[in-house]
Structure 1
Amino acid sequence: MSAVWNHFKLETECCPTATCNVCKPSVSRGGKDRAAFNTTNLIRHLKNKHPAQYSEFTAATQIKTWSQPTLEAMLKNKEKLPKDSDKAKNITAKIAEFIALDDQPLSVVSNVGFRRLMEHLEPRYELPSRSYFTDTALPSIHNKLRVSLVIKGVCFWVYHRHMEFVCLSNVTDQLHCTMD
């Protein structure tokens, strides 16, 4: 919606005129039906009758000009992400998740196509080595999943004589049961 409407009021959407909020006369919206209405006459009215409001309108509608980035900004965009940055960690975790969930071979991180894809998606990201995924990223996922499964390994059941049991399996695969 045009900023010119800050200075005019409409009776209805179909009305061919708008009322100036400053001097109150009706100003034609141009055209004879809604499809042909425009704001040219409203802007011209502001320009000719209300210079202060016209200045407000032009200030509100000025389009920001694009400027060429500085050399410093360009060089900063070329710097690699620090490996310990949140963004780099998240990308690495998602790659490890991709390998684990989709049963991908670890060699996928060495493949040219995959490397090009990662370079295109985030040029500043430095893809870790295959051994990093083998020794660090995938074991981390495994440990998180294992803890999650241990927590889900708590079982509750009722014996047919209405005796309640609680079982909990732990990381060392020991089963502990109690009876109420």
Structure 2
Amino acid sequence: MFQKQRKWTNSDDGSKLMDKLVIEMIVTDNQPFTVVSDVGFKRLMAAAEPRYALKSDKYYRSEKLQEVHHKVVDKIKALIQPENAGYSLSFTTDCWSGVTDSLMSLICHFIDAEWTRKQVVLNTRAMHGSHTGKYLKETFLSMLEDWKISKDRVALVL
């Protein structure tokens, strides 16, 4: 009975599994890291697994995100390979400019081997300097290089 009430340590296998599931939920459902501080989420977790001690949003953001990021990158790299995505890929890109920051995003669109339409966000990159056509082209091509996508696979860019 006392074992059910005692909180797991951070090194406990149960705690490690719950940490992994929490960060995967945040990423999969596109939730803010602060969801772990929400009253309803805390209640849910306390009822679902009372032995698990929720960590701070900073913990999931700084300690756990990299692990999930590497897994997602590997899955996306496999997903966009010609045997899965076909040879031709289409892309949408957008730029946002604020008072101090500018960003450019890159989304890849394709139809997979089962004829299902897919889209994956590949990059969001900070932009510096004037947004000339040459600069946008260089940034776009650099993002393709990051994903090892050759220029001849590009069918369309919007």
Q: TM-score, normalised by structure 1?
A: 0.44
The TM-score with structure 2 as length reference comes to: 0.49
Higher strand share: 2
Bigger Cα Rg: 1
Greater relative CO, 1 or 2 (CA 8 Å, sep 6+): 2
